[in-house]
Chain A
Amino acid sequence: EAGVTQFPSHSVIEKGQTVTLRCDPISGHDNLYWYRRVMGKEIKFLLHFVKESKQDESGMPNNRFLAERTGGTYSTLKVQPAELEDSGVYFCASKVAGGYEQYFGPGTRLTVT
């Protein structure tokens, strides 16, 4: 069974540009999470989807970040416009309904110059 996949693995963009990150969860996992780790800090929660609905978006830093999960399958996280402080590694995780383990993807390293 394929694990959580994320695309791209690395993105370098200039300040003010737009970037879209994609996450494909494990098939059948209703729960999908986005996390971010900025340099020198801990991994921090951004938001949680149950199927296509946002269950908790309390960790989203500001309105430059937009997450979607159309159809309850893959999810995208768009940053528009990107700022320097958005640089970091963005992780996606998924979990089966009723389970306790979140399975993490390999992450997307975003560098904003």
Chain B
Amino acid sequence: QKEVEQNSGPLSVPEGAIASLNCTYSDRGSQSFFWYRQYSGKSPELIMFIYSNGDKEDGRFTAQLNKASQYVSLLIRDSQPSDSATYLCVREAGTALIFGKGTTLSVSS
């Protein structure tokens, strides 16, 4: 069983729509989670950090964490073509980060 599971996609949404990206994890003791965005050929960049159950909003992005269900999600409102990228769900494990394989998002104009 993979530690962090994501649907690889591609997830295709039209411009202006809400994109919903989901992730499940296997280690019930996990505390902190990140969403990184990676454009093709570029380095991963942090867009959201969440460690408490519930929602965390930052601009057009909302991260949701449900530790009982071992589920993390990322909502992107008013999606733009510039949001087209691979989104990596990541959990913190001691000193290391454990990555999912990523979900590719494509926003069409």
Which residue of chain B has its CB nearest to the CB of A40? Answer: B101
- A66 within 8 Å of B (CB atoms): no
- Min Cβ gap A46→B in Å is 9
Chain A positions 73 through 113: 1 when the CB is less than 8 Å from some CB of chain B, otherwise 0: 00000000000000000010000000011111111000000
- Identify whether the interface residues of B are mostly helix, strand, loop, or mixed: strand
CA distance A104 to B45 in the complex (A): 7
Given that A45-B98, A56-B95 are contacting pairs, would A101 and B49 also be in contact in the complex, using a CB cutoff of 8 Å? Answer: yes
Q: Shortest CB–CB separation between residue B57 and chain A, in angstroms?
A: 18
Q: Which residues of A contact B95 (CB under 8 A)?
A: 31, 33, 48, 55-56
Assess A41 versus B96: contact at CB under 8 Å? Given A100-B49, A107-B43: no
Q: Which residues of B contact A41 (CB under 8 A)?
A: 101
| Cross-chain contact B46 with A101 (CB below 8 angstroms) | yes
The total of chain B residues at the interface (CB under 8 A) is 22
Give every chain A residue within 8 A of B19 (Cβ-Cβ): none
User: How many angstroms from the CA of A101 to the CA of B95 in the assembled complex?
Assistant: 12
| Chain B residues, Cβ within 8 Å of A48 | 95-96
Q: Residue A91 contacts which of B44, B46, B49 (CB distance < 8 angstroms)?
A: B44
A107 to B43, CA, bound (A): 7
Query: A residues near B, CB below 8 A?
Result: 4, 31, 33, 35, 41-45, 48, 55-56, 58-59, 91, 100-107
24 contacts between A and B (CB under 8 A): A4-B43, A31-B95, A33-B95, A41-B101, A42-B100, A42-B102, A43-B97, A45-B93, A45-B96, A45-B97, A48-B95, A48-B96, A55-B95, A56-B96, A91-B43, A100-B92, A101-B46, A101-B49, A102-B46, A102-B97, A104-B36, A104-B45, A105-B43, A106-B43
